[in-house]
């Protein structure tokens, strides 16, 4: 009998026991970290008994989970697209008191988590969802989902720079970072706008790649993820993905994974 593939496991097609904290996250109740805190605080019951171990095995659909005495059922799935302004961190709370992307969301929305991250100074398209399996597939390296950025750099650019970005740049720590594609959008008097396409997303990928070449990043905007774009969405605004957009995104991930 063949072993299940990673895509089968992540898509939820395979029924199996998972940890209690992960179950609460998969049900769209809260993040796994928040679930662990609730469990350790004795606020979670599994089949009527208080459990304090976040790794307690659970079978979703068979076992009964309660938080503060209220049953937890699968939340309605929600998929959001946010045009993130600069100056906001991609986290639920910040120990340094900085503004977070959650302050831009309607407080009546169900719990959602960001799909990947944008650093504080980076702008643009950020997805948020309570469908943790879907979010993991979007962010997974094996989907090779194209992410398109517009990058303003402090200075001129030429073909040699574009070639270096596509060939790969070695950081001071020995890591090789590369762009799938790089092109010049427009040259200005003191700076240049580039379009950089990534099909992977490492931490501060573009900033570290350009900084390793001694190039200042003035502004960084994520314009698209796969078929999803910022078109018509004002900065700081958020909207729900249409059913068609969700379908297009799912098809794009499927086709990329098969390449």
Catalytic residues: 119
The Cα-based distances of 192 to 147, 153, 156, 184 in angstroms read 20, 5, 6, 7
Question: What does the longest C-alpha to C-alpha distance in the chain come to?
Answer: 68
Whose structure tokens read 């992977």?
200
User: Are the C-beta atoms of residues 84 and 126 closer than 8 Å to each other?
Assistant: yes
E strand or H helix that includes residue 228: strand 228-229
E strand or H helix that includes residue 181: strand 181-187
Phi and psi angles of residue 108, each rounded to the nearest 5 degrees, phi first: -85, -5
User: Are the C-beta atoms of residues 137 and 116 closer than 8 Å to each other?
Assistant: no
Residue environment code for 50-82, b if the CB has 16+ CB neighbours within 10 A, otherwise e: ebeebebebebeeeebebeeeebeeeeebbbbb
E strand or H helix that includes residue 32: helix 32-40
Residue 90: name the closest of 10, 203, 234 by CA: 203
């Amino acid at each position: 009998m063949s072993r299940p593939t990673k895509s089968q496991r992540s898509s939820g097609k395979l029924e199996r026991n998972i940890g209690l904290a992960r179950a609460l996250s998969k049900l769209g109740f809260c993040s796994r970290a928040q679930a662990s805190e609730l469990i350790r605080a004795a606020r979670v019951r599994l089949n009527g008994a208080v459990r304090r171990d976040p790794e307690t095995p659970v079978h979703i659909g068979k076992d009964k989970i309660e938080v503060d005495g209220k049953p937890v059922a699968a939340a309605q799935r929600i998929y959001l697209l946010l045009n993130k302004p600069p100056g906001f961190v991609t986290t639920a709370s910040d120990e340094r008191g900085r503004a977070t992307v959650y302050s831009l969301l309607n407080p009546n929305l169900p719990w959602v988590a960001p799909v990947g991250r944008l650093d504080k100074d980076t702008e643009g398209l950020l997805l948020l969802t309570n469908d943790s399996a879907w979010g993991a597939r979007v962010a997974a390296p094996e989907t090779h989902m194209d992410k398109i950025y517009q990058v303003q750099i402090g200075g001129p650019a030429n073909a040699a720079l574009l070639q270096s970005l596509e060939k790969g740049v070695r950081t001071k720590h020995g890591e090789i970072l590369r762009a799938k594609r790089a092109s010049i959008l427009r040259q200005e008097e003191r700076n240049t706008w580039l379009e950089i396409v990534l099909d992977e997303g490492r931490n501060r990928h573009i900033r570290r790649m350009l900084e390793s070449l001694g190039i200042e990043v003035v502004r960084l905007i994520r314009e698209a993820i796969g078929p999803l774009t910022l078109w018509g969405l004002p900065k700081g605004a958020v909207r729900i993905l249409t059913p068609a957009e969700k379908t297009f995104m799912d098809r794009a991930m499927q086709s990329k994974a098969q390449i």
